[in-house]
Amino acid sequence: MNTAIIVAAGNGERFRSEVPKQFLEINGKPVVVHAIERISAAPSIDAVVLVLAAERVAEFDGRRADFPKLVAVVEGGSTRAGSVLNGLNAVPRGCEVVAVHDGARPLVSVDDIEAVVGKAGETGAACLVAAVTDTIKSVRGGEIAATLDRDKLRRALTPQAFKIEILKRAFELSEVNDSVTDESYLVEKLGHPVAIVEGSARNIKITRPEDLIYAEAMLGRDP
């Protein structure tokens, strides 16, 4: 039995909309609903835990019939990692692999979900990644310090998937704060290798208003 945790309890400060970005609609449906539907369409996922801001919990809890794999709707924390931890505490017993997904990523493909969950089942920990297309510089004091080797860099996407005991141990051993922006980081600190799964670059996180335009254009297409 595998579970997905979808975190959607953020304020979307960089997006700067009145309604948090994950509740803005694309093609008549909130971004987070696209994420729930894509995750639910993955055969490897048996159950979904949804993490929301307190004022949204009752609404989605009342919509369980719309999302048959949804087993729990829980309140988020003040940081993303805190929200993931609350979700982790609501994962049903008997779960083998847990996949953590951003509610702000509505374009994830079923193939990518299956690949990362499958890899985590084999290795214990797997992170969906995409290539970096720009040349990346490290900077210091208003100057370029170095040019990084792009072939060795990847963007970390979600889902990121782990055997549940590994993710639980990673959370037990680390402090949960704002510097923790993904789960792989915690598992890396644990010293457990995290396998990479090359995913689609289309699986963007809605972060700024222009991302919503891109998502709208892409949602109608085949993944």
Nearest-CB residue for ligand CTP: 10
Residue 24 as a binder of ligand CTP (CB under 6 A): the answer is no
Give the number of C-alpha atoms closer than 13 A to the C-alpha of residue 84, restricted to the C-beta side.
30
Strand 70-75 to 154-163 pairing: unpaired
The only residue of 13, 55, 151, 222 in contact with ligand CTP, by rule CB under 6 A: 13
Contact 77, 85 (CB under 8 A): yes
Extract the tokens encoding 168. 């639980």
- Return the closest-CA partner of residue 5 out of 64, 86, 118: 86
The only residue of 64, 79, 155, 156 in contact with ligand CTP, by rule CB under 6 A: 79
The only residue of 30, 76, 106, 199 in contact with ligand CTP, by rule CB under 6 A: 76
Residue 14 as a binder of ligand CTP (CB under 6 A): the answer is yes
Stretch of 13-21, 61-69, 117-125, 214-222 lying at the interface with ligand CTP (CB under 6 A): 13-21
Angle at 109 between CA 106 and CA 110, to 5 degrees: 120
Angle at 129 between CA 164 and CA 146, to 5 degrees: 125
| Residue 105: CB minimum distance to ligand CTP, A | 7
Residue 169 as a binder of ligand CTP (CB under 6 A): the answer is no
Residue 177 as a binder of ligand CTP (CB under 6 A): the answer is no
How many Å from the N-terminal Cα to the C-terminal Cα in the chain? 26
Residue 83 as a binder of ligand CTP (CB under 6 A): the answer is yes
Extract the tokens encoding 171. 């959370």
Contact 38, 28 (CB under 8 A): no
- Return the closest-CA partner of residue 117 out of 96, 93, 141, 143: 96
Stretch of 12-20, 42-50, 125-133, 182-190 lying at the interface with ligand CTP (CB under 6 A): 12-20
Stretch of 38-46, 102-110, 139-147, 168-176 lying at the interface with ligand CTP (CB under 6 A): 102-110
The only residue of 5, 12, 120, 211 in contact with ligand CTP, by rule CB under 6 A: 12
| Residue 178: CB minimum distance to ligand CTP, A | 9
Using the minimum distance from each CB to ligand CTP, give the nearer residue, 104 or 125.
Answer: 104
State how far the Cα of 188 lies from the Cα of 196, in Å rounded to an integer.
12
State how far the Cα of 99 lies from the Cα of 66, in Å rounded to an integer.
21
Residue 194 as a binder of ligand CTP (CB under 6 A): the answer is no
Binding site for ligand CTP (CB under 6 A): 7-15, 22, 51, 76-80, 83, 102-104, 205, 207
